[in-house]
Amino acid sequence: MVLDRATVARLLPRRIGFELATRALTETSLRRGAQPNRLIIPLTGQIGAVLSVMAGVLHEPLLFGAKISAVLPENRHRGFAGHQGAVVFFDSDTGRLLAILHGGEITARRTAAATAVATRALARPNSRVLALIGAGEQASHHLDALLESMPIDEVRIWSQSTERAGAFVANHTEASSKLVTHDRVDTAIKGADIICTLTSAPNPVLFGRWLEPGQHVNAVGASVRQFRELDDEAVARAKFYADYLPMLHAEGGEYLGALASGAITADHVIGEIGEVLLGRLPGRESDAEITLFKSLGIVAEDLTAAHFAVTKAIAENHGARVSFE
């Protein structure tokens, strides 16, 4: 079964995505499966361009598969998404290749869903002002996910390209909240309750000296150790949560940079967001705390989303069939 972008989008409605992300994050923290750190192979010729392979197994129920992606930050100048690839999903009984799914759509939807779940757990419940730092595909999905999950009534947009920021607003006129572009990051986040960094920038765009008490930050854009969207002070000022500690220790650029500089120690990280969802760790404990969720992405999110989409596709006869016997 081959499921293209449009089909994956139809099969994975936003609200179901929240449930799937919650399951993936909690199963990860319960260690019910095997998720080796992603294999990252640099591609020559472009800064930050890599071939990424994520494979894993979940045990309850048994799910296994892999996602292979070409990640090219410069695609934003070509009109293509930065993540290109596919999720391959196998039959749990026979090992037969069951489906190939559009990797970019799976990635965008499960990443935004995980952010929304973490935000509900860590942000102030009455958060109404959202700042999106970046105006690409992830920003679009994060806007939809956070508007559905939080009482947002104002959204600030910043992009390295003012034209891209303006186009983002024009393309989301149906949003129920007020969308406003900003030409500086510090003004975009001033007074914001929730901040999402969604860029392909190799160096920090969000600085700790700008952060205010009570804010919640989702650091999403940087997924390799050489890139970081937050500076050391931003990391040091925040209660820090990860999606998966082994990946954080291997590829979390913000964490590794702050650790190397001495701005933090290894015990600065509270733990995984799945542990908060399970009630094993505290989340936000006061309105004055600055909280930070570092999202690197885990294959458990891809597998739970793929399983739901494939099950629904079989039941409703979606997708093209290709013989791989």
CATH number at residue 25: 3.30.1780.10
Q: How far apart are CA 247 and CA 291, in angstroms?
A: 19
Residue 273 in domain: yes
**C-alpha to C-alpha distances, 237 to 168, 218, 231, 248, 310, nearest whole angstrom:** 31, 14, 10, 18, 42
Question: Are 176 and 64 in a shared domain?
Answer: no
Question: Are 102 and 142 in a shared domain?
Answer: no
- pLDDT values of the chain reduced to their tens digit, one per residue, 325 residues: 999 999 999 999 999 999 999 999 999 999 999 999 999 998 877 777 889 999 999 998 999 999 999 988 777 667 777 778 999 999 999 999 999 999 999 999 999 999 999 999 999 999 999 999 999 999 999 999 999 999 999 999 999 999 999 999 999 988 878 999 999 999 999 999 999 999 988 899 999 999 999 999 999 999 888 899 999 999 999 999 999 999 999 999 999 999 999 999 999 999 999 999 999 999 999 999 999 999 999 999 999 999 999 999 999 999 999 988 7
Residue 115 in domain: no
Question: Are 38 and 130 in a shared domain?
Answer: no
Question: Are 98 and 165 in a shared domain?
Answer: no
Q: What is the DSSP letter of 38?
A: P
Question: Are 195 and 84 in a shared domain?
Answer: no
Question: Are 91 and 140 in a shared domain?
Answer: no
The answer to whether the CB of 81 falls within 8 A of the CB of 75 is yes
Q: How many domains does the chain have?
A: 2
Residue 113 in domain: no
Residue 275 in domain: yes
Residue 184 in domain: yes
pTM for this one? Answer: 0.95
Residue 246 in domain: yes
Domain enclosing residue 160, as ranges: 124-294
Please provide residue 323's backbone torsions phi and psi, each rounded to the nearest 5 degrees. Answer: -80, 125
